[in-house]
Structure formats: structure tokens, C-alpha cells
């Protein structure tokens, strides 16, 4: 073991010769080699070439983290695996979802954080086998481990965040509402969706194309019959305020004369099997090869193919099936067919019958198939199973680097299904194929802070649920949470009930319109908070325990802090007309019924049951914090930001910096951004306002509503005078 120190709080332990994952980005030259191993919070042991880390857990030790994974925020009681998995049934007993996020925060007597930088499978037994033991099993012994010590949970998480590099910066329009479905199959269908949003006066910034826009599921093709004038459609939608976002899948269809296939094969850019031939698996198009995204040349080749779509006006993509998902391999399917043939006419007893059906079910993502696939890394053949978790990450990196090469100064919308730590530099993620189940609103909320801790800031779930049928109430309640997530996209599976915001009844459409308009009102704040978190390696979502130290804050796992000012407390039970809320301090509640409507009420510290009718979104403004609101429009770019409303809950002093920039380019890196610094002080019932603004600020007027803890309210209109010198 080699032990190094990155800084006094962060240890870096190297075992054997780890695979270079590029998850973290820090200056390795600036680390200090330690001669003696310092005392570690975990015990290390090696057995059968597997490294194991153990720690004992006292009854009140909480274990947070693991990014996109199942169960609550506190992972105690469960067993989990880091192995990117396409599993569309997100029930509590499952061990893995699409991401592999090996970061844990252990809050014992002395809290610590741990990151296992290992691209194969890692198993986390968090008080499952024994309630008082944490056992982390790494399925190999070549690994880098990072330990974060000294500090509270937030400081530990931030210490980890700082090792990852700057997070992905989406275009500002990606904070608008987005509509998806598997599938809007033709130009006419897409145009009808756009028309319905316009007609119903529901804001929307993007409409999605799922796999059916392609010619027989071939990447970088468009079905010409269904979309006879694709660039024309893209342009006319953009004119109306909508971007069109096509999907790209990992597998490349095997088909003679299909250029992507021919090029990949000729240049040796596909993953191989044991016999050095391109590895064959089946996904949507039938048989495919998987690009070898670990090979830098293959990565660049695939990434530059996005030009086929950017040349036609496309400005955003979602990358899918990149765990990679495998429906079947030829050999395994043949074995199953042979078994079925042998079973024909037999009297199948319980064992034989289930053996037969299980054999077919097990074709999907069979672990042994991953062992048959190889990558070429620096001239060596590397078995896929050993680096499985890097596949989706490198597909997304391929897209991000390709797009950056094609248009260096343009921000593209890009998010992926599979991911690992480090991917947050290149793109966001969505949390995959959830269900239209109430439990999945809560799961969505509980995942968000853990995903952020792994550096992935642009994230959200399929609002309304992917599989199964949503009703209007679920759609409304879920949207009342998703309006806080950077990615706010309604997406549903094939054969499910339509769940567009106008697909239910008139009264429900009216509520959804208000909820979505409320989202647009929040965009100045959400964007400002996102950009600050991205540029300063911060967090957008935090559990309450990151800011409040009392036990009750730690036990609250159905509320979230959103940026520095807000707390989200969505209703996530069917037919509920309110919910229990814990307030760690006195806060201002805005029961919002739309971008401007609803009541304000000061709610004291403590436990409360708060009523929330279906049309009411509960938004809490923390003490001495400020919320800046914009005037909604039908799309982000149509918003008039010259007048903003400001809601301030001021006990003594509250200050806020509102960040903004052009939202489309990277000029912000050279200082092309604006800031408004607001400070409000309150003394004996009187409020004082100070505003300082950098030059080029678009905001001209701030309409302030200031409230103190006693409920005294004062309104004031302030002119924003940009500082000519700044």
C-alpha cells in the first residue's frame, strides 16, 4: 500500500496497480508521500484477491451516499452493489441502478468520507449481515481509496467534490420544462405536441425524440419517411421556443453499408470477444457492436458523429443503454432455445418449469456476457467486467468532447443514463426507468443529494414515472417536487397512458400550468444556485443534516435543501391534503399556487402538520435568506428579466448574490457574467436594502417583499443601477 496525503484532511491509499479511471482530477504532483500509515477509520484485509474494508457501526451511526441507489438517504440496513445496471424495476430489494457512485459518508463519533476508485463491482453491506457492521468488498485488489477526515458531513462532501473538476454547465434553456415520451414518432406528432403546449399556454423548452426517430434504431440516422424535413422541423420548433432532443444509444447496428458500422469495424473501434472479433450482443436494432469508448480514438470517432445531428440544428442529446444494456447474446439465446426444445412435450415439474422460464429471463444483462467482452487500452486487452462502470461515463465523455470539438463555445444539453464519478464534468444524468408510483417521488428526492455529492449536478427523474400509468394527482404532486430539480422532464414508456400536462382534464391542466409557470418563476434562483455550485464545486441539493446539527434534522429524509435559500417538502402520498414537516428553524412558508399566487406565513421551528391542497406547492424560505423570482414566459429565452420579484425573510441580516450570464456560451469563463449583490437588514421593524450590481445587468427593477420573524411585512421597489466600473 502506498499512502499519500492530498491535504491534511484527505488521504490517498493505493493498492497494487489500479486502472486509471480518470474519475478524479487533482494535481498528483502536489501530494505528499507518507512513510508511516496513519490511523485509519476502517480495517483493511485481503482475501482471495478481494480487498475488504470494515468498520463497526454504533446504533446511531448513519451512512449516507452511494449516489443513484435505492432505499432512503441513510443506507443502513441494506446491501448494495456498484455495478451499472439496466434494471427497470426499482424496488427496495434491488442492489444497483444505472450509476456506480462509490462514495460514502459515515457519521459515527468521528465522521469520515470514503471514495473507492474502482471500475469493477464493489459490494456494500451496510448493517445488513450484522446490524453493527459496515463491510465494503472490492472485487479486486488494484484500487485507489480516498479517505476524507476532519469536518462535518458537508465539509467532507465538499472535500470530495473539490477533487473532481468543474461540473458540467448546461445551457440555461435546459432549466425550462421538457416533454418526452417513447415515442413521438413523426414530424406531425412532434408538431402536435408543440401546438398543444402553445394552445394550453403551458411553458416548455424541449421536446424529446426517443428511439423511433431513427431508421431501424441506427444511431446518427433519421427516418426520412417519418421526418421528411428534419432540419426544417428543428428550425420551426426553435422559432416557436422548443428545442428537439434526440436519443443516442450505445450499440451500433450491424448492417452492411451502414457507415457508422462499416467505419467502426474497419478501424477496429468496437469492443472485442476472446477471439479478437467484434463482440456481438443484441439491443433495440437486433445485433450490435459496442464502440470501445475506453479507446481515445474510438471515443473521438463516435463523438464527432453527433455532427450529423448538430448540422441539422440539434442542440441537445440524451445517451442511453450505456451500462451497456444487453438483451441477449447469440450463444446464450441458443442455449435457452435448445432448452425450450428439449422441454417440448415434457411433463415439467416445479424445478424444470422455473429453470426454463428463468433461463430466458436471465438472458437480459447476464453477468457472464460482460466477461466475454474486451477493451483495448494502451495496447492491452482489458476484460469488460473489470472496468464495467466506466462504459457509460466514457460514452458520455465521447459525446461531450465531440460536441466541444465541433462547437467549442456552445453549451449543449447532454445527459446520460449510466454514469460514474467524474461524469459530472461532462454531463448530467436522469435516474432511469422509474414507475408511476408514489414511492418513486420519495425515491427521487432521496437520491438527489447523494448524486450531487458525486459531482453530478444536472439531474432529475422521469417526472410522472416512466412505466405504469400516472393519474393527474400523481403528475401534479411529482411536478411540485421536480420544479426544484435542474432537469425537469416528463417522460413515459411505450404503451402507457399519455401524461403530458394537458393529457388529463381541464382542472388538472390548469394546476399543472401553474406548477410549470412556478418553475419558470424560480429559474433565476435555480440557475444562479446551479452555476455557483458548478463553478465552485458546491452542492445544489443537501440533506438537512448538512446545515443543521440536531438529531431531528438527521432523521428527516423526506425534505431537501435546495440551494442556499430554500427547503422543499413535497407531498408524496396519494390523496393526502398536507404533510408532516420538520422545521429546524423558523422559516417563511410560501404556499404557492402559481408564480405569484398563494399565501405567506411564518412557521416556527418544530414539527408541524401543514395543509397543502392539490394546487398548493409548499416552498420554505430559510431564515435570513432571499429568493429572487422572474416573470414566467412560454420558454426560458422569452423571459423578460428586467423586473424581478424578491422575497426576503429577514431576522437581522440577509444577503444574496444573484448570478446570471448569456446561458448559451462559455464566455462566463472569461468573466462575462453578471452579479447582483443584495443585502437586507432588519432592526426594530424597519428594513434597509442595499443593492450593488455589476455592469451589463439586465435587471432594472426589484420588487421586494420583506418579512420578519414576527410576520411584519414591508414592500419596496428598488432600481438596480449597474456599476459602470465593474
* Interface residues toward ligand GLC, by CB under 6 A: 182, 210-211, 247, 320, 417, 432-433, 491
Closest CB to ligand GLC among residues 55, 433: 433
| Strand stretches in 434-571, DSSP E | 459-460, 462-463, 488-490, 541-542, 560-562, 566-568
Closest CB to ligand GLC among residues 418, 636: 418
C-beta of residue 218 within 8 angstroms of C-beta of residue 212: no
Cβ 207 to ligand GLC shortest distance, Å: 14
Cβ 188 to ligand GLC shortest distance, Å: 20
Closest CB to ligand GLC among residues 148, 466: 466
Closest CB to ligand GLC among residues 431, 537: 431
Closest CB to ligand GLC among residues 86, 616: 86
Cβ 651 to ligand GLC shortest distance, Å: 45
Cβ 248 to ligand GLC shortest distance, Å: 10
As given in the structure block, the three cell numbers for residue 278 are 467484434
Cβ 127 to ligand GLC shortest distance, Å: 31
C-beta of residue 157 within 8 angstroms of C-beta of residue 450: no
| Nearest CA-CA partner of 571 in 476, 429, 636 | 476
**Secondary structure of residue 88 in the 3-state scheme:** coil
CB-nearest residue to ligand GLC: 182
Count CB-CB contacts under 10 A for residue 262: 12
Taking the C-alpha atoms of residue 17 and residue 24, their distance in angstroms, rounded to an integer, is 16
Cβ 482 to ligand GLC shortest distance, Å: 15
Which residue blocks in 68-186 are alpha helix, DSSP H?
153-161
In degrees to the nearest 10, what's the CA dihedral of 79, 161, 14, 40? -70
Cβ 489 to ligand GLC shortest distance, Å: 10
Closest CB to ligand GLC among residues 397, 491: 491
Closest CB to ligand GLC among residues 263, 468: 468
Cβ 181 to ligand GLC shortest distance, Å: 8
Taking the C-alpha atoms of residue 146 and residue 132, their distance in angstroms, rounded to an integer, is 23
Please give the span between the terminal C-alpha atoms of the chain, in angstroms, as a whole number.
51
Closest CB to ligand GLC among residues 397, 417: 417
| Nearest CA-CA partner of 564 in 656, 646, 677 | 656
Taking the C-alpha atoms of residue 183 and residue 504, their distance in angstroms, rounded to an integer, is 18
Cβ 319 to ligand GLC shortest distance, Å: 10
| Nearest CA-CA partner of 726 in 680, 671, 669 | 671
Closest CB to ligand GLC among residues 128, 364: 364
Cβ 655 to ligand GLC shortest distance, Å: 41
As given in the structure block, the three cell numbers for residue 376 are 483495448
Taking the C-alpha atoms of residue 510 and residue 633, their distance in angstroms, rounded to an integer, is 16
Closest CB to ligand GLC among residues 184, 525: 184
Dump the DSSP string for 501-524: TTSS-HHHHHHHHHHHHHHHHHHH
Q: Which residues contact 201 (CB under 8 A, 6 or more apart)?
A: 513, 634
Which residue blocks in 98-224 are alpha helix, DSSP H?
153-161, 187-199
Closest CB to ligand GLC among residues 68, 433: 433
Taking the C-alpha atoms of residue 541 and residue 551, their distance in angstroms, rounded to an integer, is 19
Cβ 321 to ligand GLC shortest distance, Å: 6
C-beta of residue 251 within 8 angstroms of C-beta of residue 285: yes
Cβ 88 to ligand GLC shortest distance, Å: 6
Closest CB to ligand GLC among residues 364, 673: 364
Taking the C-alpha atoms of residue 36 and residue 655, their distance in angstroms, rounded to an integer, is 46
Element (H, E) at 603: strand 598-603
C-beta of residue 649 within 8 angstroms of C-beta of residue 590: no
Amino acid at each position: 500500500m502506498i499512502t499519500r496525503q492530498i491535504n491534511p484532511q484527505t488521504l490517498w491509499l493505493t493498492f497494487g496497480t489500479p486502472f486509471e479511471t480518470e474519475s478524479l482530477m487533482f494535481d498528483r504532483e502536489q501530494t505528499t508521500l507518507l512513510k508511516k500509515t496513519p490511523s485509519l477509520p476502517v480495517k483493511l484485509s485481503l482475501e482471495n484477491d478481494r480487498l475488504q474494508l470494515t468498520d463497526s457501526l454504533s446504533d446511531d451511526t448513519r451512512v449516507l451516499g452511494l449516489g443513484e441507489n435505492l432505499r432512503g438517504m441513510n443506507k443502513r440496513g441494506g446491501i448494495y452493489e456498484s455495478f451499472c445496471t439496466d434494471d427497470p424495476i426499482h424496488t427496495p430489494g434491488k442492489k444497483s441502478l444505472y450509476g456506480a457512485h462509490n462514495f460514502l459518508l459515515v457519521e459515527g463519533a468521528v465522521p469520515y468520507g470514503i471514495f473507492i476508485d474502482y471500475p469493477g463491482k464493489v459490494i456494500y453491506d451496510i448493517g445488513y449481515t450484522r446490524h453493527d457492521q459496515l463491510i465494503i468488498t472490492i472485487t479486486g485488489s488494484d484500487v485507489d481509496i480516498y479517505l476524507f477526515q476532519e469536518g462535518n458531513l458537508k465539509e467532507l462532501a465538499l472535500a470530495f467534490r473539490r477533487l473532481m473538476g468543474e461540473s458540467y454547465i448546461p445551457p440555461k434553456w435546459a432549466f425550462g420544462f421538457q416533454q418526452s415520451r417513447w415515442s413521438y414518432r413523426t414530424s406531425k406528432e412532434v408538431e402536435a405536441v408543440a401546438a398543444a403546449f402553445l394552445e394550453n399556454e403551458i411553458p416548455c423548452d424541449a421536446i424529446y425524440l426517443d428511439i423511433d426517430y431513427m431508421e431501424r434504431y441506427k444511431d446518427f440516422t433519421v427516418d426520412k419517411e417519418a421526418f421528411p424535413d428534419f432540419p426544417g422541423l428543428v428550425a420551426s420548433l426553435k422559432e416557436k421556443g422548443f428545442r428537439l432532443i434526440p436519443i443516442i444509444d450505445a450499440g451500433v447496428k450491424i448492417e452492411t453499408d451502414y457507415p457508422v458500422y462499416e467505419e467502426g469495424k474497419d478501424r477496429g473501434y468496437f469492443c472485442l470477444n476472446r477471439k479478437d472479433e467484434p463482440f456481438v450482443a443484441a439491443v433495440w436494432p437486433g445485433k450490435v457492436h459496442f464502440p470501445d469508448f475506453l479507446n481515445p480514438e474510438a471515443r473521438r470517432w463516435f463523438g464527432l458523429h453527433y455532427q450529423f445531428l448538430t448540422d441539422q440544428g440539434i442542440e441537445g442529446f440524451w445517451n442511453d443503454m450505456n451500462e451497456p444494456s444487453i438483451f441477449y447474446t447469440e450463444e446464450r439465446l441458443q442455449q435457452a432455445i435448445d432448452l425450450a426444445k428439449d422441454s417440448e412435450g415434457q411433463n415439467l415439474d416445479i424445478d424444470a418449469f422455473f429453470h426454463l422460464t428463468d433461463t430466458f429471463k436471465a438472458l437480459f444483462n447476464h453477468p457472464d456476457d460482460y466477461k466475454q467482452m474486451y477493451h483495448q487500452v494502451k495496447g492491452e486487452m482489458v476484460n469488460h467486467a473489470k472496468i464495467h462502470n466506466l462504459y457509460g461515463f466514457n460514452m458520455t465523455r465521447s459525446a461531450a468532447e465531440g460536441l466541444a470539438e465541433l462547437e467549442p463555445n456552445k453549451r449543449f444539453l447532454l445527459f446520460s443514463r449510466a454514469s460514474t464519478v467524474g461524469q459530472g464534468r461532462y454531463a448530467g444524468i436522469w435516474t432511469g426507468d422509474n414507475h408511476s408510483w408514489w414511492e418513486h417521488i420519495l425515491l427521487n428526492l432521496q437520491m438527489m443529494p447523494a448524486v450531487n455529492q458525486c459531482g453530478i449536478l444536472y439531474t432529475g427523474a422521469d417526472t410522472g414515472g416512466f412505466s405504469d400509468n400516472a393519474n393527474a394527482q400523481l403528475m401534479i404532486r411529482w411536478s411540485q417536487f421536480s420544479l426544484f430539480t435542474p432537469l425537469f422532464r416528463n417522460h413515459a414508456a411505450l404503451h402507457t397512458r399519455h401524461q403530458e400536462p394537458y393529457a388529463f382534464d381541464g382542472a388538472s391542466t390548469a394546476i399543472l400550468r401553474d406548477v410549470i409557470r412556478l418553475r419558470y418563476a424560480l429559474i433565476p434562483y435555480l440557475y444562479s444556485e446551479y452555476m455557483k455550485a458548478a463553478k465552485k464545486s458546491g452542492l445544489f441539493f443537501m440533506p438537512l443534516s448538512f446545515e443543521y446539527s440536531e438529531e431531528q434534522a438527521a432523521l428527516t429524509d423526506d425534505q431537501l435543501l435546495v440551494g442556499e435559500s430554500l427547503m422543499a417538502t413535497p407531498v408524496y402520498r396519494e390523496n393526502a391534503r398536507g404533510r408532516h414537516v420538520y422545521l429546524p428553524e423558523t422559516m417563511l412558508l410560501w404556499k404557492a399556487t402559481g408564480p405569484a399566487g398563494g399565501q405567506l406565513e411564518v412557521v416556527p421551528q418544530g414539527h408541524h402538520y401543514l395543509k397543502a391542497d392539490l394546487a398548493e406547492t409548499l416552498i420554505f424560505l430559510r431564515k435570513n435568506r432571499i429568493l429572487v423570482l422572474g416573470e414566467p414566459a412560454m420558454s426560458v429565452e422569452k423571459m423578460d428579466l428586467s423586473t424581478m420579484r424578491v422575497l426576503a425573510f429577514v431576522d437581522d441580516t440577509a444577503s444574496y448574490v444573484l448570478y446570471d450570464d448569456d446561458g448559451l456560451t462559455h464566455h462566463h469563463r472569461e468573466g462575462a457574467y453578471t452579479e447582483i449583490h443584495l443585502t437586507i437588514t432588519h432592526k426594530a421593524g424597519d428594513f434597509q436594502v442595499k443593492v450593488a450590481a455589476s455592469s451589463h445587468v439586465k435587471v432594472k427593477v426589484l420588487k421586494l417583499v420583506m418579512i420578519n420573524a414576527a410576520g411584519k411585512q414591508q414592500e419596496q421597489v428598488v432600481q438596480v443601477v449597474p456599476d459602470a466600473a465593474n
